[in-house]
């Protein structure tokens, strides 16, 4: 819900680096929970953020794709589509559960967390990047 503190987490990215949400305070962070690497809807959604990267960078936003697949699957997916942002490995959908995006498959859900660590935007489905980024200021 907007205005509530975003649940903290630490996850490994596709390169094996640990990403901890609380260490990103002071920045706007977008989390894109998505069901599967290299599936049509997920590819299109993440490509939209890639294609609008200039705007993402201009607003100082950090973007992360989040799903339970392993680092190797994430690496292949990221290289294939040249994503300029990391993909986080959420084994067992632990973080998806904290963000109410868990299920038999991950529910496609996008969050924007403000520099204060509070949720500014949360929406199921595939909101346009511009709609998400409008919450970053």
- Does 47 qualify as catalytic in the annotation? no
β-strand partners of 31: 64, 111
Terminal alpha carbon distance of the chain:
18
Query: For the chain, how many helices (H) and strands (E)?
Result: 5, 7
Among residues 42, 56, 66, 110, the one annotated as catalytic is 42
The residues annotated as belonging to the active site are 42
């Amino acid at each position: 819900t907007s205005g509530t503190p975003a649940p903290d987490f630490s996850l490994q990215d596709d390169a094996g680096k640990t990403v901890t949400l609380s260490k990103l305070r002071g920045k706007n962070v977008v989390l894109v929970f998505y069901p599967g690497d290299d599936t049509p809807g997920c590819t299109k959604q993440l490509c939209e953020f890639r294609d609008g990267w200039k705007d993402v960078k201009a607003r100082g936003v950090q973007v992360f794709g989040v799903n339970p697949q392993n680092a190797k699957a994430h690496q292949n997916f990221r290289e294939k589509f040249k994503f300029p942002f990391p993909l986080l490995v959420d084994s067992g959908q632990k973080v998806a559960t904290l963000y109410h995006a868990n299920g038999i498959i991950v529910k496609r859900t996008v969050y924007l967390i403000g520099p204060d660590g509070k949720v500014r935007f949360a929406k199921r489905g595939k909101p346009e990047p511009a709609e998400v980024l409008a919450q970053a200021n």
